[in-house]
Amino acid sequence: MAYAHEGPVRAAAGPSAAAGVLRTWCLAAAGAAAGAVTAPAACVLLAALPLLAPPAALAAAWPPARRLPARVLGALVRPAVAVERRRLAALFGIETAGDPGTARCLLYLALRAPVGLFGGLVLAVFPMGAYTVLSPLGVLDGNTPAVIPLGLALMYVSMQGTVGLVGTERWLARWLLGPTRQDLLEQRVGELAESRARILAAVDEERRRIERDLHDGVQQRLVVLGMALGRALRDPGSEKGRELLLQAHEESRRALTDLREVAWRVYPTALSESGLHAALSGLAARCALPVDLDYRLDRAPEPSTATAAYFIVAEAVTNAVKHSAADRVSVLVGEAGPGPGGGRPALLVRISDDGAGGADPAGGGLAGLADRAAAVDGRLTVHSPVGGPTVVLAELPCG
């Protein structure tokens, strides 16, 4: 899994780049050739469909058999589309999921057949151009050097046509074989319902944790403080009374420290008053491990994004302290081009540690981080191989 988000990746120049371009074109040509082979089969299937019309009309008159034509049509169409999906995935890297339905499969085959036949014609132009170019060089006979430009032009047109075919293939696959608007909407609603349930559970767990912190920490210190003051009041002028007053003063200081810690975990004041940088600096200063903070933002993000970024960092650092056996934690906050889901810039938050790794992205803590990112339409990924390092990467829209 790659995490190079700090800057754009530029293609290397030279022979390696040329080899990459050639390999890409060869894959595209292979995909177009395979499509040209499957196109006649699609044409035969489409031509045979009118033969189903009379049986379908008869079946429509008999209620128990009304669904039979649709099932037969689906049995004919879906295997062909399954072959197309495997071809698209293997040669073009186009992944489609879900059930588009028989009607959309049939429309895809109807549009795909002429595209495949045209692809075969485009590919046939390339060897014609190569023959024309090689003939004047003495490898083949029958032409003059004057036709070399024509041969090069034919090869160029074939290569550009192949690229165009790949674009058409992608468009058809995403339009007809990919999820519909309704599918995407239902998927989004399902994801929001699941994340809401997890967030509510996390909020309840956080409330219970705060109650335990107040009961076991602050409340106990206040009880000791009250007892010390009560004993000191019974003998205010004695040496023992002065010792009890000193103890009460120390307990009040510790209770105030505990209250500050609880308040920081609920919502740090510095985040709303001084901004994300100050809040993260305070978090780094209070952490039990050394934290290297690299803050590269030139402007303050939106409050909701800043809040999500802060708590993602806070919870990831807490997980590193508790579970990773790390010696050091690094936190990077910067901007990284277009954000997830649109053209807005993305706030990049990267937390890494030098611990043992092996963290489960589906675990409760890391799943909670993903929900925090999703709540602001961001995304979060975790890379934690056994032996480390663990890298938590969040991209949050900050436009």
pLDDT for position 348: 92
Same domain, 218 and 308: no
Q: What is the pLDDT of residue 249?
A: 79
pLDDT along the chain (399 residues), means of 10: 35 50 66 68 65 58 59 73 79 72 79 79 81 64 66 82 80 79 77 73 72 73 78 75 79 75 70 88 87 89 87 88 86 74 72 86 74 83 87 85
**Residue 330 belongs to domain with CATH number:** 3.30.565.10
Does 322 lie in the same domain as 279?
yes
Last residue of a domain, one of 143, 178, 213: 178
* Cβ atoms of 330 and 354 closer than 8 Å: no
Q: Are residues 300 and 393 both part of a single domain?
A: yes
Pairing mode of beta strands 390-397, 345-353: antiparallel
Q: d(Cα 48, Cα 40) in Å, to the nearest integer?
A: 12
The reply to whether 281 falls in a domain is: yes
Residues 159 and 35 in one domain: yes
- Joined together, the tokens standing for residue 322 give 């508790």
| Distance separating alpha carbons of residues 217 and 211, to the nearest angstrom | 10
For 16, phi then psi, to 5°, come to -65, -40
Query: CA-to-CA distance for 227 and 224, rounded, in angstroms?
Result: 5
Q: What is the pLDDT of residue 105?
A: 79
Write down the pLDDT at residue 12: 39
Q: What is the pTM of this model?
A: 0.51
Residue 168 has a pLDDT of 82
Q: How many domains does the chain have?
A: 3
The Cα–Cα gap between 71 and 84 comes to 20
Range of the domain at 329: 274-397
Task: Answer yes or no: do 244 and 150 share one domain.
Answer: no
